[in-house]
Amino acid sequence: MGLDLFSDVVELTAAIVDIESVSGAEGALADAVEEALRALPHLAVERAGDTVVARTRLGRGERVVLAGHLDTVPLNGNLPSRRDGGRLYGCGTTDMKSGVAVALRLAATVPEPNRDITYVFYECEEIEAERNGLRKLAAARPELLAGDFAVLMEPTGAQIEGGCQGTMRAEVRATGERAHSARAWMGSNAIHTAGRILDVLRAYEPARPVVDGLEYREGLNAVFISGGVAGNVIPDECVVTVNYRFAPDKSVAEAEAYVREIFTGFEVTVTDAASAARPGLTHPAAAAFVASSGVEVRAKLGWTDVARFAELGVPAVNYGPGEPTLAHTKDEYVETALITECEERMRTWLAGPTTVAT
């Protein structure tokens, strides 16, 4: 199925939504995106797996990256797309095919932008990190992601969300000694001891650091608990898995040190971690984007792939028409007015005074 990048952005969104692209099966959509972009003579197009990269080469003074993932979560009886008044329903409408449609429209209809642009449409964002197309591209071809500033077209309700929080999961282990439950005094109940871990979590007051002018709100929460041997045995181990969401004023190492300190006296094993990303709003390209958009700027309370750009030294923000609270739901939809609004704001930014190479 071909894509008409010169069609109305809402119609283009519907066409993209109707090409099923559950994580790991983005091939048909990647084919359609690649075919449409290769028809545009002002773009140099490359493909890696089911990730498609298209770049202008105008010699501008700045380069920005516009990125969006092609995959969706599994279907839930929500294809094909359907219009209902000012809403477009369907799997991926908000997360994030409406953002992809905006970027594709710009790629086709802004042949001479004021900044050089790299468009990245990547695979496998919704599943394990090892398969993430942006991650693989950063490892194999980092030069394709080079830029002064990046916009990840994640759903933000058409507001700018700067940077992102880091995330860490850790197992906090309480130990005891096994005994027969009829003679409990001969052992030590690890599940009872784990109550002290929960006490720490109940008493936790979220830090609210301000980073580059944006206020983040941290979080430390139990997400799993496991323990027990048998119905007549005093357990000798109980593990509480906690998730720490930390602001971009901390590195992963600093976040780990904090978790270990707050659970002093317990064995702590970090099982997963991802870096936070600073907003980077002081860069001229970022400042110009914020100024031209005229919208609210807030902190991103969650983790997104802007962190991958931060690791490459590219400041990045999240900005897209979708509503994040609707992502992954059966009745997922996007307000069509916000798709048009995002396209117009991005176009205004990219059609301003031309940056000059120095």
Query: Which residues belong to the active site?
Result: 71, 125
Secondary structure of residue 101 in the 3-state scheme: helix
- Distance from C-alpha of 293 to C-alpha of 273, rounded to nearest angstrom: 33
* Closest to 238 (Cα-Cα) out of 181, 179, 194: 194
What backbone torsions phi and psi does residue 276 show, to the nearest 5 degrees? -85, 175
CA torsion 128-134-139-145 (nearest 10°) is -160
Residue 84, burial from CB neighbour count under 10 angstroms (0-12, 13-18, 19+): exposed
Distances in Å between the Cα of 166 and the Cα atoms of 146, 169, 207, 321 are 22, 11, 14, 23
* Closest to 70 (Cα-Cα) out of 40, 99, 108, 35: 99
- Distance from C-alpha of 119 to C-alpha of 104, rounded to nearest angstrom: 8
Rg over alpha carbons for the chain, rounded to the nearest Å, is 23
Distances in Å between the Cα of 89 and the Cα atoms of 11, 13, 86, 328 are 12, 10, 10, 12
Is the C-alpha dihedral spanning 278, 279, 283, 285 positive or negative? positive
What backbone torsions phi and psi does residue 184 show, to the nearest 5 degrees? -60, -30
* Closest to 3 (Cα-Cα) out of 85, 88, 97, 71: 97
Residue 116, amino acid: D
